[in-house]
Amino acid sequence: MALLIACSSRAEQFAAEVRALDPGLDARIAPDLGRSGDIDTALVWQPPAGLLRSLPNLGLIVSVGAGVDGLLGDPTLPDVPLTRFVDPDLTGRMAEYIALNVLYHHRRMSEFRELQARKVWRYLPEAAAHEVRVGLMGLGVLGMAAAGALKTFGYRLRGWSRRPKVLDGVACASGPAELDAFLAESDILAVLLPLTPETRGILNRGLLRKLSRSGRSALLPGPVLINAGRGGLQVDADIVAALEASELYAASLDVFETEPLPAASPLWAHPRVVVTPHNAAESSPAAIARYALRQMHAHRNGEALENLVDRTRGY
């Protein structure tokens, strides 16, 4: 039995980590498959289309990504158990990213950066955290961790998920019927949704116009969008238009419709936009190796797998 590592980046690092943890393991790096019939487990990130289908004894796919939209979009993906990466290391990094960017915009840092560049000493009024309503779209592993981090500062938290939830300290809404009310009560919208047929393009101009722009947090100049889910959730041009029309005050975007973000995108230079290159929560090779081996051994021993993807719901 062998483990195949089929990753468009960091494959050598993952191989070094799994070999360090299990020196006897037969670990191969695509495209060097050897005898393909030996391979029972594949650790993957953006594998070439059709590669997994060519492995006759493949019994388990472990996704390096927490998001599996890319894999599920491959019509040749074999119908074997698919587990996605969930780990405290990645979860902690995402909670940091969301807290960092909520604080950055709530405390009007992009404006202070501009004033500093011009050596202007100017007071700007700021809301207190307990006056700001943060809406979390997606209340899964990462959304709940972000809520936990934001609670420390006292933000007023709302959340939206597919199925109803009850969470301590988070006013929860669910499903399309409760979306508009959730948006109307969100001053800062932080998005940690998976990309599925239901969520594609959800962050469009119509949705952005429904965000709160009044009320207790009038000290925030306007609504803020933070997206660290997937670029396919958003319409980049609508975000630019909403910023230009002052329907949005600011945005932090880690993901884009096209990645890398094209040089021509106006998002790069917008003074109220923070662009990061899809690294809100980089996953550590050591954590991935530990996780992949745990899933592989569980599968070989007929034990339960963690974080199985439900292909019908798409995440």
Query: Is residue 66 part of the contact set for ligand OXD (CB under 6 A)?
Result: yes
* 108, 156, 230, 299: residue in contact with ligand NDP (rule CB under 6 A): 230
Q: Which residue in 62, 72, 76, 59 sits closest to 14, CA to CA?
A: 62
Measured from the CB atom, the residue of 280 and 289 that comes closer to ligand NDP is 280
- Which residues inside 279-298 make contact with ligand NDP, applying CB under 6 A? 280-281
Query: Is residue 149 part of the contact set for ligand NDP (CB under 6 A)?
Result: no
* 83, 101, 110, 196: residue in contact with ligand NDP (rule CB under 6 A): 196
Mapped to the 3 state alphabet, what secondary structure does the chain carry? CEEEEEECCCHHHHHHHHHHHCCCCCEEECCCCCCHHHEEEEEEECCCCCCHHHCCCCCEEEECCCCCHHHHCCCCCCCCCEEECCCHHHHHHHHHHHHHHHHHHHCCHHHHHHHHHCCCCCCCCCCCHHHCEEEEECCCHHHHHHHHHHHCCCCEEEEEECCCCCECCEEEEECHHHHHHHHHCCCEEEECCCCCCCCCCCECHHHHHCCCCCCCCCCCCCCEEEECCCHHHECHHHHHHHHHCCCCCEEEECCCCCCCCCCCCCCCCCCCEEECCCCCCCCCHHHHHHHHHHHHHHHHCCCCCCCECCCCCCC
Measured from the CB atom, the residue of 38 and 89 that comes closer to ligand NDP is 89
Question: Total binding residues for ligand NDP by CB under 6 A?
Answer: 30
- Which residues inside 276-305 make contact with ligand OXD, applying CB under 6 A? 283
- Which residues inside 78-97 make contact with ligand NDP, applying CB under 6 A? 86, 94
Beta carbons of 75 and 50 less than 8 angstroms apart: no
Give dist(CA 12, CA 9) in Å, integer: 8
Query: Is residue 232 part of the contact set for ligand OXD (CB under 6 A)?
Result: no
Task: State the nearest-atom distance from the C-beta of 255 to ligand NDP, in Å.
Answer: 5
Measured from the CB atom, the residue of 8 and 246 that comes closer to ligand NDP is 8
- Which residues inside 129-168 make contact with ligand OXD, applying CB under 6 A? none
Residues designated catalytic: 230, 278
Query: Is residue 199 part of the contact set for ligand NDP (CB under 6 A)?
Result: yes
Measured from the CB atom, the residue of 18 and 139 that comes closer to ligand NDP is 139
Cβ neighbours of residue 269 closer than 8 Å, sequence gap 6 or more? none
Query: Is residue 140 part of the contact set for ligand NDP (CB under 6 A)?
Result: yes
70 binds, among ligand OXD, ligand NDP, none (CB under 5 to 8 A by kind): none
Measured from the CB atom, the residue of 234 and 283 that comes closer to ligand OXD is 283
Which span sits near ligand OXD by CB under 6 A: 27-35, 61-69, 185-193, 286-294? 61-69
Q: Quickly tell me which residue has 């106006």 as its tokens.
A: 266
* 21, 36, 65, 178: residue in contact with ligand OXD (rule CB under 6 A): 65
Query: Is residue 227 part of the contact set for ligand NDP (CB under 6 A)?
Result: no
Q: Give the binding site for ligand OXD (CB under 6 A).
A: 65-67, 283
Residues found near ligand NDP in the complex (CB under 6 A)? 66-67, 86, 94, 138-143, 160-163, 192-196, 198-199, 228-230, 254-255, 278, 280-281, 315
